[in-house]
Amino acid sequence: MPHFLRPSIRAMAGYTPGEQPRDGAFLKLNTNENPYPPSPRVFEAIRAALTGDNLRKYPDPLGTRFRQAAGRVLGVDPDGILIGNGSDDVLTILTRALVAEGGLVVSPAPSYLLYKTLADIQGARFQGIPFDSNWKVDPAQAVRDASVTFFANPNSPSGTMVDLETLAAWPGTMVVDEAYVDFADTNALGLLSRRRDLIVTRTLSKSYSLAGIRFGFAVGDPELIRHLVKVKDSYNCDVLSLAAATAAIEDQEHLRGITAAICATRTRLADALRKLEFSVTDSQANFVWARHARPVKPLYEELKRRYILVRYMNYPGYGDGLRISVGTDAEIDRLLDVLRTLL
Ligand SMILES: *Cc1c(COP(=O)(O)O)cnc(C)c1O
């Protein structure tokens, strides 16, 4: 163990992302990638960006064109938008800006495991707030000395949402991570005008089908965003990702088409899994959380042997299950056919 590392880095386990096999034969239903292609305008925009001086020069550090487009689409002040190299970058910036060494990061649990990793890197403590059996939490459970509370909303792995009244009443600085919100019925943007200590984060990885591009953003009070800009790398988003993200967010019709298709397949998948005696939580995201009376780890392994990847998750004190991303109808049929032979 290198002695010159900070003790908190030496001690931490590190975040383990879902498997990304380079073997194209796998049906990937494990990392919530979108099965449909991004807007055709994205490809045009990247081609157009590959001209002239674009690669020789640094990109716009603030992503002005993206901020204007996103501000228009979402009905928010463009100065209240912070761009990031994926929303994980935005979550890192927020942790660095809001949490002092020795501070306290809080999140309902089980949820996105990165929040604890960010606390570990920062030399901060982490505390989970247990969800009840319906995946709800109550403002009375708020932790008083939290530096920040992260809500993944919709939550992973459950796909459930904490309702807006609960969020509105939650005391303290709060980040609502809306990575999956384009598959849901509501979002927290409307709370921003009431609370200056609320930040909403979004990503283009899931609903916009651009996980490979790495683009996310935060929405919050413009004054707060001005301070967050000081914490980010000056050029955290490159010219190609900025061009792609701007074109993608401007094509809301494409977004509506592919998210509607995924939501329809999600219903089919959940119904079919329930017929196979899985217990499936109603999901507002592009995945479902499926548990079974029988052990699910062998199922995960058998699926993998047949070139189908789903995410096996085991949360100490809570239990395990399969988080299955919603693919195309044909992909989900292939998964269900194999599951029927295994169960
Ligand atoms: C996928 C995911 C993210 C990260 O998205 P990127 O923009 O790809 O970094 C953030 N939060 C949650 C809850 C996610 O599932």
Average pLDDT, the chain: 96
- pLDDT tens-digit series, residues 146-176: 999 999 999 999 999 999 999 999 999 999 9
- Whole-angstrom distance, CA of residue 69 vs CA of residue 12: 39
- State the CATH number of the domain containing residue 312: 3.90.1150.10
Domain boundary among 250, 270, 303: 250
Check: pTM over 0.95? Answer yes or no. yes
Q: Which residues does 227 contact at the CB level (< 8 Å), separation at least 6?
A: 97
Residue in the block written with tokens 């996103």: 70
Q: If you compute the radius of gyration of the chain from its CA atoms, what whole number of angstroms results?
A: 20
CA–centroid distance, 230 to ligand 1, in Å, is 22
- Whole-angstrom distance, CA of residue 280 vs CA of residue 158: 9
Instruction: Examine the domain organization and report whether 130 and 274 are in the same domain.
Output: no
> Which of 112, 176, 201, 213 has most ligand 1 atoms within 8 Å of CB, for mutation?
112
CA–centroid distance, 56 to ligand 1, in Å, is 30
Instruction: Examine the domain organization and report whether 222 and 292 are in the same domain.
Output: no
Which atom of ligand 1 lies nearest, measured to the CA of 152? 13
324 with 269: CB under 8 angstroms?
A: yes
For the ranges 20-24, 49-53, 250-254, the lowest mean pLDDT is seen at 20-24
pLDDT of 342 strictly over 90: yes
Q: Where are the alpha helices (DSSP H) in the chain?
A: 7-11, 40-49, 64-74, 87-98, 114-122, 164-169, 222-229, 239-250, 252-275, 297-305, 329-342
Q: State whether the beta carbon of 156 lies less than 6 angstroms from ligand 1.
A: yes
CA–centroid distance, 112 to ligand 1, in Å, is 9
Query: Does residue 1 lie within any of the structural domains?
Result: no
Query: Does residue 301 lie within any of the structural domains?
Result: yes
Query: Structurally, how many domains does the chain consist of?
Result: 2
Per-residue confidence (pLDDT) for residue 286, from 0 to 100: 98
Q: Per-residue pLDDT averaged across 107-129, rounded?
A: 97
Straight-line distance from the first to the last Cα atom of the chain, in angstroms, rounded to the nearest whole number = 45
Per-residue confidence (pLDDT) for residue 317, from 0 to 100: 86
Which atom of ligand 1 lies nearest, measured to the CA of 84? 7
292 with 332: CB under 8 angstroms?
A: no
Per-residue confidence (pLDDT) for residue 17, from 0 to 100: 85
Instruction: Examine the domain organization and report whether 180 and 296 are in the same domain.
Output: no
> Which of 32, 85, 182, 206 has most ligand 1 atoms within 8 Å of CB, for mutation?
206
Per-residue confidence (pLDDT) for residue 52, from 0 to 100: 82
Per-residue confidence (pLDDT) for residue 24, from 0 to 100: 79
Residue with CA at minimum distance from ligand 1 atom 12: 179
Per-residue confidence (pLDDT) for residue 67, from 0 to 100: 98
The amino acid at residue 200 is: V
Instruction: Examine the domain organization and report whether 24 and 59 are in the same domain.
Output: no
Query: Does residue 119 lie within any of the structural domains?
Result: yes
- pLDDT tens-digit series, residues 8-41: 899 898 988 888 888 778 999 999 999 999 999 9
- State the CATH number of the domain containing residue 98: 3.40.640.10
pLDDT of 194 strictly over 80: yes
What b/e readout covers 249-277, taking b as 16+ CB neighbours within 10 angstroms?
bbbeebbeebbebbbebbeebbebbeeee
Domain boundary among 205, 225, 250: 250
Residue 37 is given by DSSP the state P
Per-residue confidence (pLDDT) for residue 18, from 0 to 100: 84
Query: Does residue 2 lie within any of the structural domains?
Result: no
Q: Per-residue pLDDT averaged across 86-92, rounded?
A: 98
Residue with CA at minimum distance from ligand 1 atom 14: 179
Instruction: Examine the domain organization and report whether 115 and 166 are in the same domain.
Output: yes
Q: State whether the beta carbon of 216 lies less than 6 angstroms from ligand 1.
A: yes
Per-residue confidence (pLDDT) for residue 172, from 0 to 100: 97
> Is the C-alpha dihedral spanning 265, 269, 271, 275 positive or negative?
positive
> Which of 118, 175, 203 has most ligand 1 atoms within 8 Å of CB, for mutation?
203
- Whole-angstrom distance, CA of residue 56 vs CA of residue 245: 20
Instruction: Examine the domain organization and report whether 143 and 92 are in the same domain.
Output: yes
Q: State whether the beta carbon of 321 lies less than 6 angstroms from ligand 1.
A: no
Instruction: Examine the domain organization and report whether 141 and 53 are in the same domain.
Output: yes
Query: SS3 for 16?
Result: coil
Query: Does residue 290 lie within any of the structural domains?
Result: yes
Instruction: Examine the domain organization and report whether 322 and 224 are in the same domain.
Output: no
Instruction: Examine the domain organization and report whether 147 and 132 are in the same domain.
Output: yes
Query: Does residue 120 lie within any of the structural domains?
Result: yes
Q: State whether the beta carbon of 246 lies less than 6 angstroms from ligand 1.
A: no
Instruction: Examine the domain organization and report whether 56 and 198 are in the same domain.
Output: yes
Domain span at residue 99? 40-250
Instruction: Examine the domain organization and report whether 51 and 126 are in the same domain.
Output: yes
Residue with CA at minimum distance from ligand 1 atom 1: 179
Instruction: Examine the domain organization and report whether 188 and 124 are in the same domain.
Output: yes
pLDDT of 210 strictly over 80: yes
pLDDT of 60 strictly over 90: yes
Query: Does residue 25 lie within any of the structural domains?
Result: yes
Query: Does residue 67 lie within any of the structural domains?
Result: yes
Domain boundary among 206, 232, 250: 250
